[in-house]
Amino acid sequence: MKNYDKYQVGYFPPPQTEVEWIKKDHIEKAPIWCSVDLRDGNQALIVPMSLEEKLEFFQFLVKLGFKEIEVGFPAASETEYEFLRRLIDDDLIPDDVTIQVLTQSRKHIIKKTFESLVGIKKAIVHLYNSTSLAQREQVFKAEKDEIIDIAASGAKLIKKYAAKYPDTEFQFEYSPESFTGTEMDFARDICNAVIDIWEPTPENKVIINLPATVSMSMPHVYASQIEYMCKNLHDRENVIVSLHPHNDRGTGVADAELGLLAGGDRIEGTLFGNGERTGNVDVVTLAMNMFSHGIDPNLDFSNMPEVVEMYEKFTDLKVHPRQPYGGQLVFAAFSGSHQDAIAKGMKWRKHKKLHQWTVPYLPIDPKDVGREYEGDVIRINSQSGKGGIAYILERDYGFDLPKQMREEVGYMMKDISDRSHKELSSEEIFEAFRKEYINYFDPIDITDATFKKISTYKSDDGMIVDMRVDIGGDVYEITAEGNGRLNAINNALKKTPYHFDYTLVTYSEHALETSSSSRAAAYICIEDSEGGQYWGVGTHEDIILASVNALVSALNRENKIRKFVK
């Protein structure tokens, strides 16, 4: 690409880098969550939400478990102001939920912000001003001390106005907007100036929000910036360090995770990362990443399909099918090797009666987010393999295919999908399997077979069969004996005018584990004199007749190739 040389790093690493956070390997507890879907997320929409939509979305965010929700910028928009007043006047804010409002460091805006909050029980007032070198030089054309004065004057005004409303429990928050493009010692100084004015206590802590307003660095740099600030803020024990990562570099989640390791206490973000430009940090992914490590995220995404549905309804945006945790296809495995590993992992877990989740290729149990194995996990197309197809046939229909048979069935399904250029549903898979293998009685059909033991054999397996067989419309009633039921049938077939060329290779059987039936399934593979092998499957309430049906099915499949019965 041309013009790469006009870019350079725009961030400022901390003057001292200790990177103690790198010694940690995972987040050990959930942060304080603050949803900014109704403010930051709403600003990002081509058509912002209506008042009624915002009210419904607010109630849904409460349902998900958010205890802090930024509802807007009430001094900047009449809709935002009316929305906040509806929440207060209609008593729609639960006692355990705190509303957050945003304000610039300007007197008339701060005044209107407090007026919008009259009657509320508790609220977070979020003050911000931009601090980056680029903003100071290009937008404000101001020196550092002038920028600090903007923040300090706003902090004093907020403290003054809050005192006028003693019935409201206020908490204060300050953001050095464009923190990632700010020199770290200056970010430290301006935050400390605000902290000193607000005088936090253990009972009323101050929130210092350190936003990646524009993501400018690799995540470890952001983490080091957070660590530096945490070590250099005044009254750190009474300060909640909040993170507000944006996703310009596609690292919003990584920035948040490493920032939490580096000392962050709180996250401001949105469902599925909605926000201006490339969006905010994705709270769903961030929370579910913690969940996958055995940490309670303190948010309820157990009905992920509903979360997706509601998000798309309110924002008119679509969740990408590969979006982590929420996408329609995130648990879907089309690859044969993946399917095989998942199927074996599921069987292993069931056999071992494990509580812990260790299934290959699935970082979490889909059922924990309201997804189903049926149709959500193993999906069949031309890329699929024997393991996945066998898994579906067993899971949905009770057929536990012998290992030697799975490859043949797998290739058949792949070919069907390839020719039709589409994914195969469970029903389509079973129908193709049934039509090709199960109780296939044309042109050979053994319509009756009665067995009894005989003593002419040295073992106890000697059998005699009285059998009626229809071959190409001709019916034969035959009696024959053998060293087992299938051998007796084989000898009976030899008494017909047709040349049956086969030997039995393998036989297995099991009960069909389906709720609607007590049937048995039998699987037989036969081999002709040239080495060709043919599988057949038989089902019947009687396991003996199921094995007969399996043999007949195999013979008819052989006849499709060798055509010994015209």
> Phi and psi at residue 526, in whole multiples of 5°?
-115, 160
The four Cα atoms 74, 75, 77, 81 give a dihedral, to 10 degrees, of 40
Tell me the C-alpha to C-alpha distance, in Å, between residue 257 and each of 60, 261, 268.
Answer: 25, 6, 12
CA–CA dist 116, 118 (Å, integer): 6
CA–CA dist 42, 49 (Å, integer): 7
Q: Are 295 and 38 in contact (CB under 8 A)?
A: no
Q: Residues forming the annotated binding site?
A: 40, 244, 246, 280
The four Cα atoms 342, 348, 353, 356 give a dihedral, to 10 degrees, of -50
Task: Give alpha helix (H) positions in 24-143.
Answer: 42-43, 51-64, 78-89, 107-116, 133-135
Coil, strand or helix at 244: strand
Coil, strand or helix at 428: helix
Tell me the C-alpha to C-alpha distance, in Å, between residue 59 and each of 63, 314, 372.
Answer: 6, 12, 27
Q: Which amino acid is at 203?
A: E
Q: Which amino acid is at 561?
A: I
Contacts within 8 Å (CB) and 24+ apart, 541-548: 543/509, 544/451, 544/485, 545/449, 546/509, 546/519, 546/520, 546/521, 546/522, 547/485, 547/486, 547/507, 547/509, 547/522, 548/446, 548/449, 548/485, 548/489
Q: How many residues does the structure list for the chain?
A: 566
CA–CA dist 76, 83 (Å, integer): 12
CA–CA dist 555, 502 (Å, integer): 8
Which residue in the block uniquely carries the two structure tokens 């043999």?
Answer: 551
Q: Which two tokens stand for residue 105?
A: 């460091």
Tell me the C-alpha to C-alpha distance, in Å, between residue 129 and each of 91, 106, 182, 259, 359.
Answer: 32, 10, 12, 21, 48
Q: Residues forming the annotated binding site for Mg(2+)?
A: 40, 244, 246, 280
Q: Which of 467, 436, 433, 438 is nearest to 450 (CA)?
A: 467
CA–CA dist 386, 410 (Å, integer): 4
- Reduce the secondary structure of 252-263 to three states and give it as a string: HHHHHHHHHHCC
Stated as kind and residue range, the H or E segment containing 145 is helix 144-163
> Phi and psi at residue 58, in whole multiples of 5°?
-55, -45
